[in-house]
Amino acid sequence: MYTHSIDLTIDENQVFEMPDLYPLREGKEVPAQYGLTGVFSRDYVVLGYPVRNGRGEVVADTLIVSSVSDLSNTIEDIYGRIGLCLLMAIVVGFILIYILSLTISKPLRQMNEVAKKISGGDFDKRVAVKGRDEVSQLADSLNNMAESLDLQETKRREFIANISHDLRSPLTSIRGFIQAIKDGDAPPSKINRYLDIVLDEAGRLSKLTDDIVDLSQIEARQIILEKSVFDINRLIRDTAFSFETQISHKKLNIGLGFADSLNYVNADYDKIRRVIYNLLDNAIKFTSEDGSIIIETSSENGKVWVTVRDNGVGISAEAQKHIFDRFYKADASRGLDKSGNGLGLSIVREFTRVHGYAVTLVSSPGKGSAFTFALDPGEI
């Protein structure tokens, strides 16, 4: 067992006992203390540590002595360096925050200006988008909204122009023919012809009015279904008969292919009549003289399917992406659809959607088109 005593030899003949360091005899540390009895005054800080070998035995003792003034200076120097680092960090932080605020506030101010322009009806303004952060994504969303509003505004203006023309043209015609009949300027042999024209123009006005009413309901999401059970085949037959004049004028061949059994459906009669009317009206417009239109019904997978097929001009793949959009009229159709307002197929889509089934389209240019939708069957 290693034993030892702590002595401080000043010279060969003088030995001082140091009780303050006695813990080192037991291999313990001497915590920091001011001064050392008989050796250092309280102006010094003394620490003692035992030194051990690899086996854990104490082989020596180490004393660390430093003046209080030196320690104070060192601590003050450390505090000064820490304070300087904190000051530099604060300055750098403020600079970074300022730069970051500029990068965020500048596009936000731009977006605010663009939003004000959009709210005032100017949909041509855009925000310059840089990067992929959240602010850039917000700017991109604002640009998309502005583009969509611009497109809707363009379509709205076209719609108003079309509506104005569609209203003015039949009203002028009706007024002219009625005035001629009233004034006695119409030959007796042509009075019936004039009255037929008046009835046709009144029908155009009635259809236009129905489209506008349906559009308002669609816009307000207030489409209310009044379902009943009825024979879909009979409805198709009656609707096709209402186009007798147009069909005869273009010498079209109309085929009705119904399922063997009566196909009763549970749906809103008036809205499905509008769907079939619009699809048949669309097929007649875009089918050339002596062309063919076929309307079929079938039962499959617990549903009643209705298809309106023609061998007309067909629809391009690009136009099919927008064919059900409101106010949309394909370029190829402008020469054929003189009276259309671009709402017919949009109404078809919405009315079939509220019945739970989407209308589908299969078409290619020069080979005609086929529109198909489904309804729930009904029992009588």
Q: Which contacts (CB < 8 Å, 24+ apart) does range 126-132 have?
A: none
Strands (DSSP E) contained in 250-319 are 253-257, 264-268, 292-300, 303-310
Is the pLDDT score of 313 beyond 50?
yes
CATH of 134-219, one of 3.40.50.10330, 1.10.10.10, 1.10.287.130, 3.10.450.50: 1.10.287.130
Tens of pLDDT, residues 43-53: 777 777 788 88
Is the pLDDT score of 344 beyond 80?
yes
- Cα 273 to Cα 17: distance, rounded to the nearest angstrom: 119
Tens of pLDDT, residues 250-263: 888 889 988 777 78
Is the pLDDT score of 306 beyond 90?
yes
Fold exhibited by the domain 228-375: Heat Shock Protein 90 (3.30.565)
Tens of pLDDT, residues 165-210: 667 777 888 888 888 888 887 788 888 888 888 887 887 788 778 7
Q: 292-300 and 253-257 as β-strands: parallel, antiparallel, unpaired?
A: parallel
Domains in the chain: boundaries:
7-68, 134-219, 228-375
pLDDT at 22: 67
Tens of pLDDT, residues 16-40: 456 667 677 677 777 766 666 666 6
Directed axis angle between helix 344-354 and helix 269-285, to 10°? 150
Using alpha carbons, select from 218, 223, 207, 324 the residue that is nearest to residue 274.
Answer: 207
